[in-house]
């Protein structure tokens, strides 16, 4: 059965089991016809052309999954060229017919992916809300009264509604991230220059980035890697020099004090606080930082000379076709006339000073974690105040490309209003791959599903592996927990806390008699349906692990323990004979709770 959300792992498994790309294409065609949002696409790949593409793929590469994206359907924002389909940038008078694919599209097609259509956007990629298009306003898949986010509006909705496995957007000010948050998706925003922009209608050419909307971080990173690579036809294309991040104990910068602005949206603020707690549980160190220089840089993108770069992209067209522009887009672009060359240089100088202040904050941080958007609005509210409310969406996004950062937006759960929110993780230039494992862990910990399917579990096959840091993972359940008497045996040799989590439900916990300090016995009982027990996962050097294991007294030992996310880790287990007649404390949920109950 084809799942509601077309993630890569599920489709590859179905293809391995006998599903054909033509079968999937027929499903996509049926879903397009059944869609209740008429504003998603500007141009759909005709049904017969889509069938022909699937048949051609099988003829040229008959073995299932023989190409990285064999038979994977994707959609393309309509400011990115696809040969055979018009490019409009959501302005009919601007439309042209490209004779070749954009570099990124060509690379994805060569990997076996199938284009299902061109998606709607805020005209000329100017906006973060999705209402600035003559083709209509795509809506949030969770509430049709609300905006989908922009400018890559239709691209996000195609993935969130199950029409495509992934889609391409562009991101100048946050357009590859805000729609992800509003539709419970992952948004991959590469470091500027990592993915080439050849064949993309520019918004601000010097800071534009092609992005990926996907169901999981693993999917998005795999797709981005196919698009990566120097293209000398793009003056801003760069050869990547990957940047590393600590494998554990990340120092994560979060908002504090007056810089926490949610424009009255308590639901989003609560979800941000919940994300901070999840980051702590994953072993991160939370560090409040001064967002002011980042915010001031963000304000330059629309309230500074960079708006003149938007005029540079369309100056000849707007000179003859001003009446064909969306009124709000026209107002923004024509506002560029207030800036001259002196302003442009002064803006660069100001950005440079702000960059230095931001670098000072980075001295105490490894990554930033910010709300992807501090709030959301209905379509009617956005249309009533289109510039001010749009600016609210960009409060925590606009700085990223000006400073050259990598970013990954991940779902952050659903508020009391039933709407999704998300957080974005930012890292230094070319930390794109290094950001991915923690971003994936945050998405999985949020347990918010994928797209419109809030209940589905993320496939284990799409999990992003931690980089090999040469350390050994060990799970502790009792006296070695943080703050407990034997924790020094982990911290002394430099052990690092990875995360706090729970075991699977089939484990019981007992108090071992006659142990000093008191120790628990963890026993696996197949068929027992408990709620899991709180444990910690640490990393230590192989030498420390060896000494640690050697000193473990009987009846304890090290074995494989199943965690509640389905993964397995080496950890403390007890021989069953030792707990006969011992006090069981499973119902308390963990050793820490048991110790607290004794003190009470």
Looking up residue 244, the CATH number of its domain turns out to be: 3.90.1300.10
Residue 354 covered by a domain: no
103 and 71 belong to one structural domain: yes
Q: DSSP string of 88-143? A: -TT-GGG-B--SS--HHHHHHHHTT-EEEEEE--SGGG--SSS---TT---EETTE
Phi and psi at residue 337, to the nearest 5°: -65, -15
Strands 556-562 and 507-511: unpaired
User: Among the options 10, 12, 77, 499, which is catalytic?
Assistant: 77
Q: Does 247 score more than 90 pLDDT? A: no
Residue 451: which of 416, 408, 422 has the closest Cα? 422
User: Among the options 151, 165, 421, 431, which is catalytic?
Assistant: 151
Residue 311 covered by a domain: no
Lowest-confidence region among 51-55, 80-84, 132-136, 535-539: 535-539
Residue 347: which of 401, 295, 300 has the closest Cα? 300
Cβ contacts of 542 within 8 Å, gap of 6 or more: 470, 471, 472
Q: How far apart are CA 580 and CA 11, in angstroms?
A: 48
244 and 191 belong to one structural domain: yes
The residues that bridge with 406 in the sheet, in sequence order, are 427
pTM of the model: 0.84
Cα 515–chain centre separation:
46
164 and 66 belong to one structural domain: yes
Q: Does 337 score more than 90 pLDDT? A: no
Q: Does 59 score more than 70 pLDDT? A: yes
3-state class (DSSP) for residue 154: helix
pLDDT in the model for residue 122: 98
The CA angle 442-445-448, to the nearest 5 degrees, is 100
Q: Please, are residues 169 and 156 in contact by the beta-carbon 8 Å criterion? A: yes
135-159: average pLDDT? 98
Q: How far apart are CA 231 and CA 241, in angstroms?
A: 15
514 and 438 belong to one structural domain: no
| Final residue before a domain boundary, out of 462, 494, 522 | 462
502 and 449 belong to one structural domain: no
pLDDT bracket for residue 435 (50, 70, 90): very high
pLDDT digits (tens, 9 = 90+) for 485-513: 999 999 988 888 888 999 999 999 999 99
Residue 216: which of 189, 262, 184, 193 has the closest Cα? 184
- Whether residue 151 lies in the annotated active site: yes
Cβ contacts of 62 within 8 Å, gap of 6 or more: none
Q: Does 248 score more than 80 pLDDT? A: no
Q: Does 548 score more than 90 pLDDT? A: no
pLDDT bracket for residue 465 (50, 70, 90): confident
pLDDT in the model for residue 127: 96
Q: What is the mean pLDDT of the chain?
A: 95
pLDDT in the model for residue 49: 98
User: Among the options 140, 148, 152, 175, which is catalytic?
Assistant: 175
pLDDT in the model for residue 466: 76
279-296: average pLDDT? 96
- Whether residue 281 lies in the annotated active site: no
| Final residue before a domain boundary, out of 415, 430, 462 | 462
pLDDT digits (tens, 9 = 90+) for 180-237: 999 999 999 999 999 999 999 999 999 999 999 999 999 999 999 999 999 999 999 9
Residue 210 covered by a domain: yes
pLDDT in the model for residue 149: 98
pLDDT digits (tens, 9 = 90+) for 390-418: 999 999 999 999 999 999 999 999 999 99
pLDDT in the model for residue 497: 87
Domain count, the chain: 2
Residue 427 covered by a domain: yes
181 and 245 belong to one structural domain: yes
Residue 132 covered by a domain: yes
- Structural domain boundaries, residue 167: 8-251+370-462
10 Å Cβ neighbour count for 287?
16
380 and 480 belong to one structural domain: no
CATH of the domain at 528: 3.10.490.10
**Any idea what DSSP says for residue 463?**
P
Q: Does 94 score more than 90 pLDDT? A: yes
Phi and psi at residue 427, to the nearest 5°: -135, 170
């Amino acid at each position: 059965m084809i799942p509601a959300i077309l993630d890569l792992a599920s489709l590859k498994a179905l293809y391995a089991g006998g599903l054909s790309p033509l079968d999937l294409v027929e499903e996509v065609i049926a879903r397009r016809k059944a869609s209740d949002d008429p504003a998603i696409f500007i141009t759909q790949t005709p049904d017969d052309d889509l069938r022909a593409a699937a048949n051609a793929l099988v003829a040229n590469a008959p073995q299932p999954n023989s190409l990285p994206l064999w038979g994977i359907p994707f959609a393309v924002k309509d400011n990115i060229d696809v040969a055979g389909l018009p490019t409009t940038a959501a302005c009919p008078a601007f439309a042209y017919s490209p004779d070749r694919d954009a570099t990124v599209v060509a690379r994805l097609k060569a990997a076996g992916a199938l284009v299902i259509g061109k998606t709607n956007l805020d005209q000329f990629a100017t906006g973060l809300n999705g209402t600035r298009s003559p083709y209509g306003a795509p809506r949030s898949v969770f509430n049709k009264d609300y905006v989908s986010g922009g400018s890559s509006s239709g691209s996000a909705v195609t993935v969130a509604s199950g029409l495509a496995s992934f889609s391409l957007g562009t991101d100048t000010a946050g357009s590859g991230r805000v729609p992800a948050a509003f539709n419970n998706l992952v948004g991959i925003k590469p470091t500027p220059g990592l993915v080439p922009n050849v064949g993309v209608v520019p918004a601000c050419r010097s800071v534009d980035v092609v992005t990926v909307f996907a169901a999981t971080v693993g999917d998005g990173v795999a797709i981005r890697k196919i698009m990566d690579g120097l293209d000398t036809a793009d003056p801003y294309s760069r050869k990547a020099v990957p940047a590393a991040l600590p494998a554990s104990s990340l120092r994560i910068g979060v908002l504090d004090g007056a810089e926490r602005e949610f424009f009255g949206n308590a639901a989003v603020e609560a979800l941000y606080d919940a994300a901070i707690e999840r980051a702590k549980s994953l072993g991160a160190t939370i560090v409040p930082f001064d967002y002011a220089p980042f915010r001031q840089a963000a304000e330059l993108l629309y309230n500074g000379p960079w708006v003149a770069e938007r005029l540079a992209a369309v100056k000849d067209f707007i000179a003859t076709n001003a009446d064909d522009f969306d009124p709000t887009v026209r107002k923004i672009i024509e506002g560029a006339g207030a800036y001259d060359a002196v302003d442009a240089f002064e803006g660069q100088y100001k950005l440079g000073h702000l960059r230095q202040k931001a670098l000072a904050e980075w001295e105490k941080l490894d990554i930033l974690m910010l709300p992807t958007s501090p709030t959301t609005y209905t379509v009617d509210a956005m249309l009533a105040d289109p510039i001010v409310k749009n600016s609210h969406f960009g409060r925590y996004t606009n700085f990223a490309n000006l400073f050259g950062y990598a970013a990954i937006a991940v779902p952050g759960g659903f508020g009391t209003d039933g709407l999704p929110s998300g957080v974005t993780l930012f890292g230094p230039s070319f930390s794109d791959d290094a950001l991915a494992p923690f971003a994936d862990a945050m998405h999985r910990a949020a347990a918010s599903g994928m797209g419109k399917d809030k209940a589905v579990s993320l496939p284990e096959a799409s999990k992003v592996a931690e980089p090999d840091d040469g350390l050994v993972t060990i799970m502790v359940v009792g006296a070695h927990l943080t703050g407990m008497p034997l924790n020094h045996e982990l911290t002394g040799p430099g052990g690092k806390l990875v995360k706090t989590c729970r075991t699977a439900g089939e484990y019981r916990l007992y108090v071992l008699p006659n142990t000093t300090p008191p120790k628990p016995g963890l026993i696996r009982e197949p068929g027992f349906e408990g709620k899991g027990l709180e444990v910690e996962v640490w990393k230590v050097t192989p030498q420390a692990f060896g000494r640690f294991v050697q000193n473990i007294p009987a009846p304890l030992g090290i074995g494989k323990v199943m965690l509640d996310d389905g993964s397995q880790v080496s950890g403390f287990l007890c021989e069953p004979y030792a707990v006969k007649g011992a006090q069981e404390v499973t119902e308390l949920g963990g050793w820490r709770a048991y110790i607290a109950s004794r003190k009470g």
